[in-house]
Structure 1
Amino acid sequence: MAGPTAMRLSSVLALLQPALPLILGLSLGCSLSLLRVSWIQGEGEDPCVLAVGEPGGPQNLDSGTQLDQSDEDFKPRIVPYYRDPNKPYKKVLRTRYIQTELGSRERLLVAVLTSRATLSTLAVAVNRTVAHHFPRLLYFTGQRGARTPAGMQDDTYVQAPRLAALAGHLSINQDLYLGRTEEFIGAGEQARYCHGGFGYLLSRSLLLRLWPHLDGCRGDILSARPDEWLGRCLIDSLGIGCVSQHQGQQYRSFELAKNRDPEKEGSSAFLSAFAVHPVSEGTLMYRLHKRFSALELERTYSEIEQLQAQIRNLTVLTPEGEAGLSWPIGLPAPFTPHSRFEVLGWDYFTEQHTFSCADGAPKCPLQGASRADVGDAVETALEQLNRRYQPRLRFQKQRLLNGYRRFDPARGMEYTLDLLLEAVTQRGHRRALARRVSLLRPLSRVEILPMPYVTEATRVQLVLPLLVAEAAAAPAFLEAFAAGVLEPREHALLTLLLVYGPREGGRGAPDPFLGVKAAAAELERRYPGTRLAWLAVRAEAPSQVRLLDVVSKKHPVDTLFFLATVWTRPGPEVLNRCRMNAISGWQAFFPVHFQEFSPALAPQRSPQGPPGAGPDPPSPPGAEPARGAPLGGRFDRQASAEGCFYNADYLAARARLAGELAGQEEEEALEGLEVMDVFLRFSGLHLFRAVEPGLVQKFSVRDCSPRLSEELYHRCRLSTLEGLGARAQLAVALFEQEQANST
């Protein structure tokens, strides 16, 4: 019996042997989970809760109450959305930044005490050296001895990055009066105030407590110094004096001697100072800023070298080893394309020309910012070569043989330069060398460009020029306008510009726009209070600029125009982006719409393609396959008939065009220009072109007028042909046509 039993046991163990590690792991995991649950659910007391509830804490409450209070600030308060059906719909205006909507406050507000005598000198120097580092900078002016609490004086140089870092380590919920301490004359040792010349920090909580006592301090305290008056007010009313150290953070300052050269100052107190005082003139302020900026730059380079050394040492321990180390060390590796469409191209250039032009030309002069960029890259390469090989070799540039550059979105701008150099040895021997160098201008911290503030409350005036050939498509535009603008009650108006030919719409002839006028009247009836204006003009060769001239004269200069076409489908998102991107006196916006392909070449797709099917042509963002698959399409970069701009900016550009071109030359120019070309050539505004996913246009056969200029006609034909379908779809259509012809 023992023999068969042992054999059966050994066979069972042999079968279970591969699964034994899994069984042991599950058993061990379940055991540890049960033990952890028993520890968590134990009846022990939380030492952290007891520490909060001790008499030395803020309040002597029971542990449960303390825990609830500490967690209360971190629980989100969800306000449910409720719309009263009895009240009219009101559009909610969103703020420009989310921190405004959330009620977030800036971390640091800097106040500067200045005077009328130094407002144009020292105050300007302070603004140029520190304003771009602080979110809020306020200036207070007054007579000598004014009792205005201020954070610093205009004769103080502040090392802004260090001060911002110091403020980031301090709590605004605690009473704080931090600065360089000074004793009152005749007062006790504990009574101190912060010297205003070196600046001081006041917390928001302390200012809120001080606010009710300010009127009493103005009448009771007499002092010729604002900083001493503020210190006495704080001590008398709240019993709080100035401190130079708080929460392990020390406020370091330096008193600059008269006629002292900042370039020669090397003491540790100067090198680590947050504030330097006194600064007698604006030139000295700029010299101090130059010295501290150089110190910060040297410290940054030193930290970069240390980090690169650490990365190099740790790379040996990684699976890839040194082969996985990217250049430059510490920056992301170059972008790796997954298909031939994602390959980043290189732009070729020389010292005089570039062979990648914005207008598609094969060669154009290298000028402006591009020329300065190339010059800076060549100088940096020469500087790095001399730094590496001196004193044995010294290089001098003779000329740039070849240059290549490309923008890598993961790294920055990459350069490859072929330089013809002259190498000079220590003995004076010279020799010409050709060397290839690679450089990278990495992407730095992303910053928000200073732009004028705009809101979403501006009224948009849509302008729709209509030719006789486009009258049949106008009712569809009006229905889309009703659904996207009138139904959600957008703050927008529409003006129809009806363009008659020389022999159309005359006496006894039928009106080609009769259906358009009837559709507009129907919308006015369906939406009470809505008025759709229309203007009738007669033109033999209408141009976009001439038609807009007619509309522009009938509207105020502060009107925001949205120039549309009969295929445009406006909506709330499109109008909001029009308001945000068109800035009066600053920027004009010309969106790039999405053009659907021809249904004959790009049939509607099923929501889920068959297994093994290739990728579909691109679709507009936001498409819903559940409603029937949308057609493929492309963003039409050739079209520029849609745009958002202010009337004042258009009038200024139009006046400049009339001033530079006169008589017959102006008439000929108007035939070959669109509104975007007017802004591009005769305006100093930023011209913003960006894809607009909300503008989706259905495919339609559009005729290009032979009266257009050669450039506009070429762009129109190219837009029409590229809008037929993707290259793969066109290839399939040609193949099927050839197969049909061959049979």
Structure 2
Amino acid sequence: MTDELFAQENKFQTWSSTIPGKVEFFSSEGSDTSVPIPIVPLPGVDDSYPPQKKSFMMLKYMHDHYLDKYEWFMRADDDVYVKGDKLENFLRSLNSSEPLFLGQTGLGTTEEMGKLALEPGENFCMGGPGVIMSREVLRRMVPHIGECLREMYTTHEDVEIGRCVRRFAGVQCVWSYEMQQLFYENYEQNKKGYIRDLRNSKIHRAITLHPNKSPPYQYRLHSYMLSRKIAELRYRTIQLHREIVLMSKYSNTEVQRDDLQLGIAPSFMRFQPHQREEVLEWEFLTGKYLYSAADGQPPRRGMDSSQREALDDIVMQVMEMINANAKTRGRIIDFKEIQYGYRRLNPMYGAEYVLDLLLLYKKHKGKKMTVPVRRHAYLQQTFSKVQFMEQEEMDAKELANKINQDSGSLSFLSNSLKMFVPFQLSKSKAEKKEPKDKKINILIPLCGRFDMFARFMVNFEKTCLIPNQNVKLVVLLFNSDSNPDKARQVELMRDYRLKYPKADMQILPVSGEFSRALALEVGSSQFNNESLLFFCDVDLVFTAEFLQRCRANTILGQQIYFPIIFSQYDPKIVYSGRVPSDNHFAFTQKTGFWRNYGFGIACIYKGDLVQAGGFDVSIQGWGLEDVDLFNKVVQAGLKTFRSQEVGVVHIHHPVFCDPNLDPKQYKMCLGSKASTYGSTQQLAELWLQKNEPSFGKNSIANGSLRTA
């Protein structure tokens, strides 16, 4: 049931196609029937509220036109969502020859109690989530509609329909707790006219869902239902693959490769490691955090939204399986919380979980009781076959012609590819185009550390000066008395400027004691909002390829690039006194680690730095300024792009932590210092060699000691 104002195509394009019958939209007399949905204008009916006459005349129309053609008749509001497959399965389990009046049982709100003219034991079916009546109910009631319209006691059309059915069909809305679950009404206190939380078992169990007033939310709900259907079909394919593998054993026939891969029985032993490095490690989890010992992962991190949703989906499916026969067993089990659990990803087969669940056991047959219980769940989400599709088929010759017409770029593909990448591809000629060699302004805070600065300049010469890269180097040199190398640093820069007179290099003096935040704030103030800044450190080396990624991964007004850089371990430990390798870009577990906690290296436009609020110049000395800026960027609503960057390496150097630092900074400094000695494995082996003389001999004999 709808009215002319709300007769919208979105309802017809979503759930109506799943109904194994006929769907019509009943509106007032004179409604526009040219819209692409089946509108039925009811003679003598207007769109006034409450729609009592419209409801009764709609039932009369169905009686007069379809009584002998259909077994069941449903009246629903235009903001409802109906699952056609569940509706069909439910109704086929009932006898349509009996007078049945189905829906969510209503008695009225607390304020309406005693005002609806309902006797004790009387009820009605709530109209919002839908009302279903068998053919027999419609046959008995409709001849008396005129009398029902003349003798109404309330303004609620669903109450009056229930009264008419009870009076003339001899039945009333079914008293059943199950109806409340099948005909779902969203009872959120702050009703917004749509169903917000889709990932819960109530949504899955329901046949109808109400309300969903806005078309975008109706499409959102329909899209979610289709995704659930896809998941069910994928699971069914996995079951079929398993059946094929099982039957092939009985029939002694050859199994196809896909069946072997996808049809393997559920087990945590599907992958058999042959070496220690191949063992798949588990991550420990609680309801809020993930704990990991894997290389490249922080020891503890909060769950992001996708991980949280995945876990919620898993728990929901587990509870649906547990409660599949709850009605027969006379009990229901509710989920309370995850006490703890483990998870890992098997790249060949899927995700695996071990969850310790706190549940509530509710017995409603016999002696009623509610008991908290804990259960372990061993779960697997098996990968199904990879599939892809092209939205538009393109002829090979046509594709070749398009490439030839615009061979210099991928502009003809850009629009369709933008959705797959977080940064912009080359744009069409009509759009503003950023140059591929956008100038990068490299800012380096410096105080002392002449040898490191000299090494940095050697790398800068090789990477930027000789190839004539479009960059500007700004050395932010502190003038404090604690910088004994100032004169030598100025002289070194003068030598490079003389050698490369066209290069854009400058020294910018900074007063006061060393503060990285202050230096970068002073340096960035020299540029306009469209300038691309690279916050660098003197103990880094980088490649030309990184500079290009710095340009590509940074988008003005949208995205900041915070690369995860590789940090070297102490060469004295890594190489055990031997001559270290001069290749700084050797990425192994033994030579270094990814600085997941480091946010100091960044590519950012000056305008975005201003929007985020800039650096906190009150932070003195080592650390914290990078974390503070990263938090500000996130809070400003700008996207952050984080990835391992193979074009930047932090060269090892001895770390000195000033005890006079802020306690939080000092603790971070000590943690950073400890992480630079060597890998956990190598430090353990060194300790064993020193304290267990037999270890070294046995390890060498077994070949377990490794070199870089």
TM-score, normalised via structure 1 length: 0.50
What is the match of residue 650 of structure 1? 609
Distance 1:503 1:420, change over 3 A: closer
Is 1:311 paired with 2:242? yes
Q: Which residue of 1 aligns with 2:356?
A: 417
1:537 shift after superposition: 1.3
Q: Deviations over 1:229-287 (max 9, x none)?
A: xxxxxxxxxxxxxxxxxxxxxxxxxxxxxx99995989x9xxxxxxxxxxxx9956865
Q: 2:562 is aligned with what amino acid?
A: F
- Identify if the C-alpha distance between structure 1 residues 604 and 539 changes in structure 2 by more than 3 Å, giving closer, same or farther: same
The answer for unaligned runs of 5 or more in structure 2 is 1-5, 16-33, 38-77, 89-211, 389-416, 426-433, 694-708
Tell me the alpha carbon deviations over residues 686-716 of structure 1, each in whole angstroms, 9 at most, x when there is no partner: 4444332222343332333444333333333
Matched, 1:474 2:411: no
TM-fit CA distance, 1:738 = 7.6
In structure 2, how many angstroms separate the alpha carbons of the residues matched to 1:265 and 1:449? 33
Instruction: Check 1:713–1:294 CA distance in 2 against 1; reply closer, same or farther (3 A cut).
Output: closer
Deviation at 1:299, TM superposition (A): 6.5
Indicate how the Cα distance of structure 1 residues 544 and 654 shifts in structure 2: closer, same or farther if over 3 A, else same: farther
Matches of 1:327 and 1:417, distance apart in 2: 27
Q: Which residue of 2 aligns with 1:641?
A: 600
**Which one of 680, 702, 706 corresponds to residue 655 of structure 2?**
702
Distance apart, 1:467 and its partner CA: 0.3
| Match runs of 1:239-254 below 5 Å | none
Task: Return the offset for 1:453.
Answer: 1.1
Give the 3-state SS of the residue equivalent to 1:382 in structure 2: helix
- Tell me the residue number matched to 1:590: 562
CA distance in 2, matches of 1:292, 1:716: 49
Give the match for residue 333 of structure 2.
Answer: 396
Partners of 1:346 and 1:406 within 8 A in 2: yes
Partner of 1:494: 473
Find the aligned partners of 2:590 and 2:234 in 1 and give their Cα distance: 54
- 8 Å Cα contact 1:263/1:291 also seen in 2: no
Residue 594 of structure 1 contacts residue 620 of structure 1 at CA under 8 Å; is this kept in 2? no
Q: Specify the alignment match of 2:495 in structure 1.
A: 522
In 2, Cα distance between equivalents of 1:449 and 1:427? 57
Note the C-alpha offset of 1:431.
6.3
Q: Secondary structure at the match of 1:461?
A: strand
Q: How far has the Cα of 1:563 moved from its partner?
A: 1.2
Instruction: Summarize the Cα distance change of 1:325–1:493 in structure 2 as closer, same or farther, 3 Å threshold.
Output: closer
- Listed as ranges, the matches of 1:263-302 within 5 Å are 263=82, 287=218, 294=225, 297-298=228-229, 301-302=232-233
1:502/1:538 contact within 8 Å kept? no
> Conserved in 2, the CA contact under 8 Å of 1:397 and 1:421?
yes
Instruction: State the partner residue of 1:725.
Output: 678
The 2-side partners of 1:437 and 1:596 are apart by 41
Q: Confirm or deny: 8 A CA contact 1:588 1:687 kept in the other structure.
A: yes
1:321-350 per-residue CA deviation (whole Å, 9 max, x = no partner) reads 9xx998996999765554278442232425
Q: 1:670 to 1:384 in 2, by over 3 A?
A: farther
- Give the direction of change, closer, same or farther, for the CA distance of 1:401–1:466 in structure 2 (3 Å limit): closer
CA distance in 2 between partners of 1:646 and 1:591 (Å): 15
- State the Cα RMSD in Å: 5.4
Aligned residues, how many?
Answer: 454
Q: Secondary structure at the match of 2:475?
A: strand
Q: Distance in 1 between matches of 2:263 and 2:597?
A: 39
The percentage of counterpart residues that share the same residue type is 18
Equivalent residues of 2:362, 2:369 under 8 A apart = yes
Query: How many angstroms apart in 1 are the aligned matches of 2:357 and 2:227?
Result: 33
Using the alignment, how far apart are the partners of 1:419 and 1:643 within structure 2? 44
Q: In the alignment, which residue of structure 2 is the partner of 1:714?
A: 667
In structure 1, runs of 5+ residues without a counterpart are 1-120, 130-154, 160-194, 199-258, 269-280, 505-510, 608-615, 624-628, 659-665
Q: 1:559 to 1:601 in 2, by over 3 A?
A: same
Displacement of 1:571 in angstroms is: 1.6
- Report the CA distance between 1:516 and its aligned residue: 2.4
Q: Is this contact kept in 2: 1:595–1:633, CA < 8 A?
A: yes
**What letter corresponds to residue 417 of structure 1 in structure 2?**
D
Amino acid at match of 2:497: E
Counterpart CA distance in 2 for 1:699 and 1:503 is: 22
CA distance in 2, matches of 1:372, 1:692: 29
Q: Could you tell me which of 515, 530, 539 is aligned with 2:512?
A: 539
Question: Paired residue for 2:422, among 438, 451, 455?
Answer: 451
Q: CA offsets, 1:9-63, max 9 Å, x none?
A: xxxxxxxxxxxxxxxxxxxxxxxxxxxxxxxxxxxxxxxxxxxxxxxxxxxxxxx
SS in 2 for 1:414: strand
Equivalent pair of 1:638/1:718 in contact (CA under 8 Å):
no
**1:526-605 superposed matches below 5 A:** 526-540=499-513, 542-603=514-575
- Asked whether 1:677 is paired with 2:656, we answer no
- In structure 1, distance between residues paired with 2:519 and 2:379: 51
- What is the Cα deviation at residue 480 of structure 1? 0.8
Separation of aligned partners in 2, 1:331 and 1:583? 45
- Provide the secondary structure at the position in 2 that maps to 1:696: strand
- After superposition, the C-alpha distances for 1:616-647 in whole angstroms (9 at most, x for unaligned) are 99x97567xxxxx9983333445543222222
Q: Is the 8 A contact 1:603 1:631 kept in 2?
A: no
Whichever residue aligns with residue 569 of structure 1, its letter is V
SS of 2:538's equivalent in the other structure is: coil
1:484 aligns with 2:435: no
> Matches of 2:370 and 2:80 in 1, distance apart?
43
* 2:477 equivalent to 1:462: no
Deviation for aligned residue 1:484: 0.7
* Change beyond 3 A, Cα 1:197–1:492: farther
AA of the residue aligned to 1:513: K
Name the SS of the counterpart of 1:418 in structure 2: strand
User: Deviation digits for residues 142-191 of structure 1, max 9, x if unmatched?
Assistant: xxxxxxxxxxxxx99599xxxxxxxxxxxxxxxxxxxxxxxxxxxxxxxx
Query: Residue 417 of structure 1 contacts residue 438 of structure 1 at CA under 8 Å; is this kept in 2?
Result: no
Provide Cα deviations, 1:274-331, integer angstroms capped at 9, x if missing partner.
xxxxxxx99568657856874675476246425513422323535999xx99899699
Amino acid paired to 2:647 = G
8 Å Cα contact 2:445-2:475 kept in structure 1: yes
Structure 2 counterpart SS, 1:475: helix
1:639-663 deviations in Å (ceiling 9; x for gaps): 54322222222222226x87xxxxx
Offset, 1:485: 1.3
Letter in 1 for 2:284: D
Q: CA deviation at 1:562?
A: 1.1
> In 2, Cα distance between the equivalents of 1:382 and 1:500?
66
Change (3 A) 1:327 1:434: farther
Distance 1:357 1:726, change over 3 A: closer
**Aligned partners of 2:461, 2:261: CA distance in 1, in Å?**
59
Shift of 1:414: 2.8
Q: Determine if contact 2:291/2:300 at 8 Å carries over to the other structure.
A: yes
TM-superposed CA distance for 1:499, in Å, is 0.8
Measured in 1, the distance between the counterparts of 2:35 and 2:380 equals 45
**CA 419–332 in structure 1, closer or farther in 2 if over 3 Å, else same:** closer
Q: Distance in 2 between matches of 1:288 and 1:466?
A: 56
* CA distance, structure 2, for counterparts of residue 427 and residue 495 of structure 1: 81
| Alignment correspondent of 2:377 | 437
Give the counterpart letter for 2:446 in structure 1: L
Q: Structure 2 matches for 1:341-360, cutoff 5 A?
A: 342-350=279-287, 354=289, 356=291
Alignment of 1:51-450 (within 5 A): 263=82, 287=218, 294=225, 297-298=228-229, 301-302=232-233, 304-305=235-236, 307-317=238-248, 337=273, 338-339=275-276, 342-350=279-287, 354=289, 356=291, 374-397=311-334, 399-400=336-337, 402-410=339-347, 411-412=350-351, 414-424=353-363, 429-430=368-369, 432=371, 434-440=374-380
In structure 2, what residue type is equivalent to 1:436?
A: H
Q: Is 1:690–2:621 an aligned residue pair?
A: no
